[in-house]
Structure 1
Amino acid sequence: MTRRTPHQPVSRAQEPLRRRVYVAVCLLAAAALAVIVLVDLRGGRIEIGPTAGLTLCLGVAATLRFTRVPWVVVDYMVLVGATGIVAAQLLQLQQQQVPIPLRTYFPGVFLVIAAFSVLPVRAALVYGGALLAVFAALSFATGSDVVLLGELILASLLIAHLSYFGRQVSAERARSDEQYRLSRTDVLTGLENRRGMYERVQQAFSRNVRGESGAFTVMLADIDHFKRVNDTFGHDVGDQVLQRVAQVLGREVGHQGSVARWGGEEFLILLETDDPPVVRAVAGQVWHAVRSGQVAGLPPVTTSLGVASSSEVVSVSDLLRVADRRLYEAKEAGRDRVQLGPARPVVPPSAPASGPNLSAPGRGAPTSPASRE
């Protein structure tokens, strides 16, 4: 059996919603208990359980609404409070030597559910077993209906079964989700890898074809002379350079798109627009940020970028081929630049291509072109 606690971290986005739902449930429970208390008052009696339960529900709702108490504290507050209420009811019945009424068995079921929701499985089993033992002892001591006791035991067994296997399913799903995430994540940089980004580009292209979204842009960025960095400073420094460039690209692109490590020293940027001013601005920001964002202890690096729009092509493979060709042209023109280029027909690698159309946000090309590394 798993020993893991059922508590899972809640994202910041989910936190407000979960608190509102929890408060709403507490208030609904308090309303139901208030009706029971009023009915009891009309009958000329006051029961410990409903009154204390009403107080507990209102207290938990107030705690959730007006404080930032951790979830584990709130859950244990409910379990401990409800346990105390049921214990007081059972103690009163034992002292009066009267049979356990039907309305007292429901809190027993609630406690079992709460235990398997809050405690690790083994602790919940111990708690549930002790609770059932108390109910059984009191049932026989007071001559209570053993059929109700049997139904409480059956309900508890069903809850334990569903809870245990439900956690197994949840754990398996979490492992599967984590494996899926890792299969699409580059270990060194933490960015999406080629496989994940290729799927993302395919999905964007499909949405564009179906008319569900507009055209988009890809930018293929390559670190200039990266082989020299590895040869001169070592692969450890080369890895640090890759991590640094990945951080810069992720920061500059931000919510405007996605960044992935495409392979080696290449990164692919998916920009969710093909608006020329926006594309040019983002490309310039990326180029400048890498060029100016040097870190002490690391060699200075620059990047070359090839930019292509989905509106220029008819397939994902053509889109990536255009971006790759423009990156090659940027390298041939001297590196450290952005190659935008007009829409041009895609040609096979063996066919001659027309001259490059350069658009660099910075310095001009050197007189002697260098080959792409």
Structure 2
Amino acid sequence: MLGAKPVKALGAMSGTSLDGVDAAMIETDGERILSFGASEYLAYSDAQRAVLRAALGRWQEDDTDAALQVIQQAHAQVLSGFDGAELIGFHGQTLAHDPQGRGTHQLGDGNALAQSLDAPVVWDFRSADVALGGEGAPLAPFFHFACAKWIGAEEPLAFLNLGGVGNLTWVDPSKSKPEDEGALLAFDTGPANAPINDLVSERLGLDCDRDGKLAARGTVEEGALELFLEEAFFRKMPPKSLDRDDFSLMLDLVRELNDQDAAATMTAMAATAVMVGMEHCPSPPSRVLVTGGGRKNPVMMKMLAVGLDCPVESVETVGLDGDMLEAQAFAYLAVRVARGLPTSCPSTTRVAAAVGGGQISRPSITDD
């Protein structure tokens, strides 16, 4: 187990948008962020993305060998390009998430990665939380708390991650630790980029609605939006989490719309889900800092700015990297795991008590 000294940690994230692998270095003692380091992005090829998409919804006992090969090779390729990492946080690829039922499945072999990279790897971050009755997600909130401290925030604020699924972290930076009562509230807001990506992939063969150009030319179908908001998920109190495909009905609701109107309507669904979720915050946040790919969609950002009662800004406005925040989060969480510190708590995942997830794999020592 690590002591309290600063550690140069490398984190990797492959999200439900299935775009590629983000990797980033930070220096941290597991509580404070001391500095941010190099980062790298490796995009999946169309063929790799197709393999991963075909594996979505599969569990540990299912055949995922082809997808595992994609995940292992891509991560080994991007992570091997960094120097000086003392510890690696490896999230893997979420294929299925059903915390109240079958559990959660992040595809990836941290032990094999530790051997190939010759460095200790922390992985399987979510299982311990789920085993203790938690949602297993979102896990970035403890890092968001550290980010709020790093930027010198004094008033409550919110971090909004618009990845494949949207998730919100409300932070009170006056608290000392993320597990303190009243320090955090976190939950998934609803679908974000994943269903929009699926729509444009199915109809146009594109990987995303880049810069919101398709949505910008469309009109929101209010009837479809109202039906979307009738989903029981929105009446459930947080903390709460979603699987990537829990809202697959979104595609059915826009099936008869043209491409532009369908994209505009699905973008409005994602933004409105955030607005509904904001009502759960213990107090109104002073600002909302947006991370993830959704912050690059001007249509999404405009909808949020109009619908929320506080400034909505990209995390870049406070000196953070919205492309790498999730990867940095798993570098940070890896250090917390190695130090025996909690990585989730009742207000972030509904787990019974503050718990540290993850297992550590170390490279084998061989004699020359």
TM-score tier after normalising by the smaller chain length? under 0.3
1 or 2, which has the higher strand percentage?
A: 2
1 or 2, which has the higher helix percentage?
A: 1
TM-score of the superposition, structure 2-length normalised?
0.19
Structure with the bigger RCO (C-alpha within 8 Å, sep 6+) is 2
Work out which of the two has the higher radius of gyration on C-alpha atoms and give 1 or 2. 1
TM-score of the superposition, structure 1-length normalised?
0.19
